[in-house]
Amino acid sequence: MSPNLKAILDTIATSEGTINRGDNGYNVLVGAGLFNSYADHPRTLVDLPNLGIKSTAAGRYQILEHNYDVYKAQLNLPDFSPDSQDAIAIQLIKECHAMDDVETGRFGEVIRKCASRWASLPGAGYGQHENKLDKLQAAYLAAGGKLMEA
C-alpha cells in the first residue's frame, strides 16, 4: 500500500471518528460502541436520536451492513477483518475514480470525489456533521501523505 493510500485511509478513519477508538477503529460501531468479532459485519442497528436516524455503520470506515454484503460477494472477502475493511474502503475510492488523485497527492480532489461515500467528508450532504477540509488535510499530512507539488 502506498504512503498516500495509507494516509487517505487514515484520514477517512479520522473523519469518521474511529481512528483513535478500540482496535485502531476497526471494531467501532456507529455511536462509539465496540464489537468483538470480525467473523462478520456486526449487523447491529444503532439508534442515533440526535440525528434522527438508525444505522448499521461499523468498522474503521463505518461501512453499512447492506454495503458490506455487496462488497463481501464482489471482492470475495472472508470476513469483516481489518484487511477486509481496508479492501472495501479502497474499492469505494476506486469507484469514485479517485485512485489517480490519491497516488498523485491531489488531496482536495480525493475528498470531493469520495464525499458521496462518507457522510463526514465535506460536501457529503447527508445532514450529518461534515469535517472541514483543512482539518482533514492536516490529518492526511500527519499520516504521511504527500500533496501534489505545484
Q: What is the pLDDT of residues 63-72, one digit of tens each?
A: 999 999 999 9
- Who contacts 46 (Cβ-Cβ below 8 Å, separation ≥6)? 29, 30, 31, 33, 54, 55, 56, 57
Q: What is the pLDDT of residues 138-149, one digit of tens each?
A: 999 999 999 987
pTM, entire model: 0.93
109 catalytically annotated:
no
Which amino acid is located at 52 in the chain? G
Choice among 16, 109, 130, 149 that is catalytic: 16
The confidence score (pLDDT) of residue 52 equals: 87
Domain residue limits, the chain: 3-142
Nearest of 74, 85, 5, 94 to residue 41 by alpha carbon: 85
The confidence score (pLDDT) of residue 21 equals: 77
Instruction: State the chain's mean pLDDT as an integer.
Output: 94
CATH number of 3-142: 1.10.530.10
